[in-house]
């Protein structure tokens, strides 16, 4: 009995820590979506599909062009950043004066485009980098280096965005535009340029997430569906546009998924997270309504 | 007015007579698909037209299909009972998710994202319960023992299916029309215009929204169940998930979301498009249909947000008026 | 320095300004007075490019303002302190001031401008890490003026700087305007507080129902019977 409890505790602790590690990447994704929503007032529901494209980018650069991982990653971040800017320029910019729901649905069209583009161009086979990072054994607990690296890189990415937003003129303008759009020209700020920069940063964060997720998961055209919905729940629970709320919610959800996965499949972790979300809406609507649209 | 009624009756009779005149099984197959999906798209538009943009309908459709099939395969429950049960399941889920949303005024982006997550989760559940549902490989209802086809709601005959689908489709339009002429419509229009003002004017905002959501979810689940009974094969990707939800939005927007026949026009266009691509490209077409959908969806939202039928009717009714900026402002789907 | 010629302007089909012409010479302080809804704020917005005139011309030191994109007008040397201050409430005072120095020409002199503003408003230096929205009305007005000064403007547009402030603070704000003037800046100020503003400016225009009804030196206007009766309550 005693030994059973010991093992159980260790699994539990392992799951808790793995949850924290997963939370880092989810927080990165939530940050990207919140940034775009906060500044441009639009939700990219194809956000996870940008990540999917980035994961394919990594696969091709590493597996087909034999670039080392560390050289491929910046290229992919840049690629997805450009993709984000293009998405804004081609789809959102023409709809800036249209009702927000139309903008959101248009990004739904982009979701279709990216998914089917991946199907057509890359096929539906599961692919991976073929990189197997070693496992760190800590006592009786095992943690994969892939997860530790992801967590670390996600934190570095978020700190980088934080520094950019607080230290630079453009970053300050990005925070300012979310508070008062109309007077931005009085500051000499061209909102169009800020939107484009923000979209590129949002894309870049998706690219970074892609570089990290591809270490742990196989890539296929529909891989976005396995973490897209959870990212949206995180953003809604944390309050769209609320960076800190999104950060906290990311870790809460990651724990639920990780602990839920301890008892059953990972999918059930997602179901548990959704049930938790619905319950939270009943008991803490104020948290949700912090910034309604 | 009478002349109009006569026109519709003749049109309906012609549709009923069609399979007896034209028996090409492939054409009938496409028509049945069009009718079933038209019904699903109409169900979506019943709430979509009032600005309640749901991306959770893929979930309702999946529940309709899977609950019916699971009850039949595992418990031997006839679809005659299974379909109402599956609809009830979808209805309960719709209420559980929609009630807090409406009660706490979750609208716009938030509502879309919550419902989007809902359809994603239903897909996850179907995949996770692969021991029962076959997971992503799909699922087939068991063939009925001989002579029990009516009990099992399985017909080999395309004409029977055509008539069933036609009846359901007409029922969908009748429901649309009933809502169009009821107080719910006025209440919902007031709500989509300004929720606070509507509430102040005595409209029970939460109750009205729940009613319309429930009707829409029940109908969508029925569409899913019918699709399952007709195709005798379902997979998570074809009846549930975000892609199916977006497909509904796409068809509704392409056809036009606030005209009764708009979603039907959308279904005709999308299914004919998919079939043409399938025939001309064969298995290479995988992915191409959605690629075309995606591009068209973006182009429609940018250039023709009222949809094809909606714009045509506008053009006929007031040939001079339509200026794009004005149109966009009055699209209800598009209201915040 | 600034010339407005026959400006018509408004919002959509609703016209607010009718044939407004106005001059501000370098080194001057000019006031625009008039009742609520006369179009004073609209006039300021037209000059800084927030709305575009339907007709008419605006020139700043010979440059066509109407043809300049809104976000470049500040580079011409026009800084606008908008009505109700419009600070970024959830940014710190320092970040608000930083936004004032956003345009490339101003960024290079960011540090020295910041010093200048802190010298002018020592209070802002104390509060630089505080969220702008949590300060008192008078402090917010200082911050808004400071933000405009960060771009090193030649012409300062002040829209109702005394609105919503306690009488003591109104005194302080006008004292401030006087100091800014004496530092050599040209000022165009819109006010409802006619008595106060006429003590600060050299010349003034009376704007009523979107048209200029009177113009003259501050002393002339203060002495005119119509203005005495309608605005000074004498």
pLDDT at B334: 34
pLDDT at B18: 86
pLDDT at B169: 95
Express as a percent the part of chain B with pLDDT over 90.
34
Among A46-50, A286-290, C124-128, name the one with the lowest average pLDDT.
A286-290
To 10 degrees, the CA torsion angle through A286, A288, A290, A293? -130
Determine the length of chain B.
336
What average pLDDT does this structure show over B77-100? Answer: 93
ipTM of the predicted structure?
Answer: 0.88
- pLDDT surpasses 90 at B153: no
Window 152-181 of A: residues touching B by CB (8 A cutoff) are: none
Among all residues of chain A, which has the CA nearest to that of C99? Answer: A187
Q: Given phi > 0 = left and psi -120 to 50 = alpha, else beta, which region is B314?
A: alpha
pLDDT at B332: 37
Give the closest of B104, B242, B291 to A117, CB-based: B291
Give the closest of B97, B291, B298 to A120, CB-based: B291
Q: Where does the pLDDT of residue A287 fall: very low under 50, low under 70, confident under 90, or very high at 90 and above?
A: low
* Phi, psi (degrees; rounded to nearest 5) at A13: -60, -40
To 10 degrees, the CA torsion angle through A114, B54, B67, B171? -120
Distance from CA of B104 to the nearest CA of A (A): 6
Q: How far apart are CA B36 and CA B31, in angstroms?
A: 9
Q: How far apart are CA B336 and CA B91, in angstroms?
A: 25
Among A78-82, A107-111, B328-332, name the one with the lowest average pLDDT.
B328-332
Q: Do chains A and B touch (3 or more CB pairs under 8 A)?
A: yes
* pLDDT tens sequence across C137-194: 889 998 999 999 999 999 999 999 888 888 888 888 888 888 888 888 999 999 888 8
Cite the beta strand spans of chain A per DSSP E: 135-138, 141-144
DSSP assignment letter at B56 = -
Q: Considering only CB atoms, which chain C residues are within 8 Å of A179? A: 88-91
* pLDDT tens sequence across B109-138: 788 888 988 888 888 888 888 888 888 888
Q: Judge whether A234 is closer than 8 Å to chain B, CB to CB.
A: no
Q: How far apart are CA A211 and CA B80, in angstroms?
A: 50
Q: Judge whether B63 is closer than 8 Å to chain A, CB to CB.
A: no
Name residue C60's beta-bridge partners: C2, C63
Query: What's the total number of domains in chain B?
Result: 1
Distance from CA of C32 to the nearest CA of A (A): 20
pLDDT at B222: 96
Strands of C63-64's sheet in order across: C14-24, C2-11, C55-60, C63-64
Q: How far apart are CA C99 and CA C141, in angstroms?
A: 16
Q: How many CA atoms lie within 13 A of B25 on its CB side?
A: 3
Q: Where does the pLDDT of residue B285 fall: very low under 50, low under 70, confident under 90, or very high at 90 and above?
A: low
The reply to whether residue B112 touches residue A45, judged by beta carbons under 8 angstroms, is yes
pLDDT at A6: 60
Average pLDDT, chain C: 90
pLDDT at A272: 84
Distance from CA of C228 to the nearest CA of A (A): 35
Q: How far apart are CA A208 and CA A223, in angstroms?
A: 16
What average pLDDT does this structure show over B285-306? Answer: 82
The reply to whether residue B301 touches residue A105, judged by beta carbons under 8 angstroms, is yes
- Using CB atoms within 10 Å of the CB of residue C119, give its burial: 0 to 12 exposed, 13 to 18 middle, 19+ buried: exposed
Encoding tokens for residue B87? 């609809």
> What are the percentages of helix, strand and coil residues in chain C, rounded to 5?
40, 25, 30
The reply to whether residue A172 touches residue C75, judged by beta carbons under 8 angstroms, is no
Q: Which helix (H) or strand (E) holds B302?
A: helix B288-303
Contact assessment for residue A53 and residue A114, using Cβ atoms and an 8 Å cutoff: yes
Name residue C32's beta-bridge partners: C190, C205
pLDDT at A225: 83
* pLDDT tens sequence across B21-33: 888 889 999 999 9
pLDDT at C56: 93
Average pLDDT, chain A: 87
Angle (deg, nearest 10), helices A224-238 and B108-128: 140
Instruction: Identify the residue among B114, B245, B282 best suited for mutation to test binding to A, counting A beta carbons within 10 A and taking the highest.
Output: B114
pLDDT at B306: 75
Among all residues of chain C, which has the CA nearest to that of A178? Answer: C88
Q: Judge whether B330 is closer than 8 Å to chain A, CB to CB.
A: no
- pLDDT surpasses 60 at B331: no
- Using CB atoms within 10 Å of the CB of residue A286, give its burial: 0 to 12 exposed, 13 to 18 middle, 19+ buried: exposed
Interface A-C: count of C-beta contacts within 8 A:
64
The CATH superfamily of C1-77+187-234 is P-loop containing nucleotide triphosphate hydrolases (3.40.50.300)
The reply to whether residue B117 touches residue A230, judged by beta carbons under 8 angstroms, is yes
Among all residues of chain C, which has the CA nearest to that of A188? Answer: C71
> Of B197, B199, B216, which Cα lies nearest the Cα of B207?
B199
- pLDDT surpasses 90 at A82: yes
Q: How far apart are CA C216 and CA C227, in angstroms?
A: 12
Q: Judge whether A119 is closer than 8 Å to chain B, CB to CB.
A: yes
CATH number of the domain bearing residue B143: 1.10.3470
Contact assessment for residue A24 and residue A255, using Cβ atoms and an 8 Å cutoff: no
Encoding tokens for residue B300? 């429609």
Query: Where in the sequence is the domain holding A32, given as residue range(s)?
Result: 2-291
Window 199-238 of B: residues touching A by CB (8 A cutoff) are: 237
CATH number of the domain bearing residue A165: 1.10.3470
CA distances from A136 to A140, A146, B130 (A): 10, 10, 32
Q: Considering only CB atoms, which chain C residues are within 8 Å of A188? A: 71-72, 74-75, 102-103, 106, 151
pLDDT at A212: 92
Q: How far apart are CA C196 and CA C173, in angstroms?
A: 10
Q: Which helix (H) or strand (E) holds C211?
A: strand C211-217
Query: What's the total number of domains in chain A?
Result: 1
Which CB contacts under 8 angstroms, 24+ apart, belong to A62-69? A62/A129, A62/A130, A62/A131, A63/A127, A63/A129, A63/A130, A69/A129, A69/A131
Q: Judge whether B246 is closer than 8 Å to chain A, CB to CB.
A: yes
The reply to whether residue C88 touches residue A182, judged by beta carbons under 8 angstroms, is no
* Phi, psi (degrees; rounded to nearest 5) at C9: -155, 160
Query: Where in the sequence is the domain holding B215, given as residue range(s)?
Result: 2-334
Among all residues of chain A, which has the CA nearest to that of C91? Answer: A176
What average pLDDT does this structure show over C26-40? Answer: 90
Among all residues of chain A, which has the CA nearest to that of B287? Answer: A116
- pLDDT surpasses 80 at B171: yes
Q: How far apart are CA A180 and CA A199, in angstroms?
A: 18
Q: How many CA atoms lie within 13 A of A248 on its CB side?
A: 9
Give the closest of A108, A232, A292 to B249, CB-based: A108
Q: Judge whether A280 is closer than 8 Å to chain B, CB to CB.
A: no
pLDDT at A291: 45
Q: Where does the pLDDT of residue B320 fall: very low under 50, low under 70, confident under 90, or very high at 90 and above?
A: very low
Q: Judge whether A227 is closer than 8 Å to chain B, CB to CB.
A: no
What average pLDDT does this structure show over B279-308? Answer: 80
Give the closest of A101, A240, A270 to B334, CB-based: A101
């Amino acid at each position: 009995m005693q030994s059973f409890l010991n093992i159980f505790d260790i699994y539990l602790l392992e799951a808790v820590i793995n949850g924290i590690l997963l939370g880092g990447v989810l927080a990165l994704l939530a940050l990207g979506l919140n940034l775009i929503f906060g500044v441009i007032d639009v939700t990219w529901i194809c956000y996870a599909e940008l990540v999917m494209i980035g994961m394919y980018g990594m696969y091709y650069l590493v597996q087909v062009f034999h670039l080392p991982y560390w050289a491929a990653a910046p290229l992919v971040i840049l690629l997805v950043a450009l993709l984000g800017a293009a998405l804004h320029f081609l789809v959102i910019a023409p709809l800036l004066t249209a009702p927000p729901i139309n903008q959101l649905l248009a990004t739904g069209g982009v979701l279709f485009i990216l998914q089917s583009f991946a199907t057509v161009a890359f096929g539906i086979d599961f692919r991976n980098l073929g990189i197997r990072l070693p496992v760190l054994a800590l006592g009786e607990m095992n943690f994969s280096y892939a997860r530790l690296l992801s967590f670390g890189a996600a934190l570095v990415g978020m700190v980088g965005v934080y520094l950019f937003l607080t230290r630079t003129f453009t970053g300050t303008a990005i925070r300012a535009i979310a508070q008062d759009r109309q007077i931005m020209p009085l500051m000499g700020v061209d909102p169009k340029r800020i939107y484009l920069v923000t979209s590129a940063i949002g894309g870049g964060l998706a690219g970074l997430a892609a570089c990290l997720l591809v270490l742990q998961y196989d890539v296929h055209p529909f891989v976005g569906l396995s973490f897209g919905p959870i990212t949206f729940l995180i953003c809604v629970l944390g309050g769209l546009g609320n960076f800190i709320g999104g950060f906290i919610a990311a870790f809460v959800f990651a724990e639920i998924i990780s602990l839920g996965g301890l008892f059953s499949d990972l999918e059930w972790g997602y179901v548990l997270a959704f049930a938790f979300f619905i319950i939270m809406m009943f008991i803490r609507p104020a948290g949700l309504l912090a910034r309604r649209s | 007015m009478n002349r109009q009624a006569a026109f519709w009756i003749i049109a309906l009779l012609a549709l009923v007579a069609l399979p007896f005149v034209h028996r090409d099984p492939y054409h009938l197959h496409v028509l049945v698909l069009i009718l079933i999906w038209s019904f699903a798209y109409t169900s979506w538009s019943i709430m979509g037209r009032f600005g309640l943009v749901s991306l959770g309908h893929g979930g309702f459709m999946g529940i309709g299909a899977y609950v019916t099939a699971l009850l039949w395969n595992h418990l031997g429950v006839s679809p005659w009972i299974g379909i109402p049960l599956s609809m009830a399941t979808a209805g309960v889920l719709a209420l559980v998710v929609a009630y807090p949303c409406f009660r706490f005024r979750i609208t716009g982006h938030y509502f879309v994202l919550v419902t989007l997550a809902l359809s994603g989760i239903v897909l996850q559940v179907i995949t996770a319960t692969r021991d029962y549902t076959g997971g992503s490989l799909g699922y087939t209802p068991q063939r009925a023992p001989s002579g029990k086809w009516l009990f099992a709601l399985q017909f080999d005959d395309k004409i029977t299916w055509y008539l069933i689908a036609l009846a359901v489709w007409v029922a969908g339009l009748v429901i649309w029309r009933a809502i169009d002429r009821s107080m719910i419509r006025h209440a919902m229009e007031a709500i989509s215009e300004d929720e606070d003002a509507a509430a102040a004017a005595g409209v029970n905002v939460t109750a009205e929204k729940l009613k319309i959501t429930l009707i829409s979810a029940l109908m969508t689940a029925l569409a899913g169940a019918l699709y399952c009974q007709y195709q005798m094969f379902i997979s998570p990707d074809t009846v549930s998930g975000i892609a199916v939800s977006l497909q509904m939005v796409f068809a509704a927007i392409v056809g036009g979301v606030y005209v009764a026949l708009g979603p039907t026009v959308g279904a005709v266009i999308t299914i004919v498009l998919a079939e043409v691509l399938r025939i001309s490209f064969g298995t290479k077409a995988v992915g191409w249909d959605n690629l075309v959908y995606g591009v068209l969806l973006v182009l429609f939202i940018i250039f023709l947000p009222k949809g094809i039928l909606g714009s045509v009717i506008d053009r006929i009714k007031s040939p001079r008026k339509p200026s794009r900026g004005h149109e966009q402002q009055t699209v209800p789907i598009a209201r915040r | 320095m600034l010339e407005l010629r026959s400006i018509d302007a408004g919002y959509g089909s609703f016209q607010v300004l009718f044939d407004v012409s106005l001059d501000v010479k370098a080194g001057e302080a000019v006031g625009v007075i008039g009742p609520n809804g006369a179009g004073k704020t609209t006039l300021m917005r037209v000059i800084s490019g927030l709305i575009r005139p339907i007709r008419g011309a605006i020139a700043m030191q010979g440059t066509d303002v109407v043809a300049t994109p809104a976000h470049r007008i500040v580079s011409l040397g026009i800084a606008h302190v908008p009505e109700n201050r419009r600070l970024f409430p959830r940014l710190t005072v320092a970040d608000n001031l930083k936004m004032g120095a956003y345009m490339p020409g101003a960024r290079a002199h960011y540090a020295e401008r910041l010093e200048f503003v802190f010298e002018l408003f020592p209070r802002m230096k104390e509060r630089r890490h505080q969220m702008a929205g949590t300060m008192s009305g008078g402090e917010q007005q200082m911050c808004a003026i400071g933000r405009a000064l960060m771009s090193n403007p030649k012409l300062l547009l002040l829209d109702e700087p005394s609105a919503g402030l306690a009488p003591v603070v109104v005194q302080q704000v006008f004292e401030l305007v006087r100091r800014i003037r004496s530092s050599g800046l040209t000022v165009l100020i819109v006010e409802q507080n006619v008595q106060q503003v006429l003590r600060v400016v050299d010349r003034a225009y009376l704007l009523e129902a979107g048209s200029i009804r009177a113009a003259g030196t501050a002393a002339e206007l203060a002495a005119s019977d119509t203005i005495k009766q309608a605005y000074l309550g004498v």
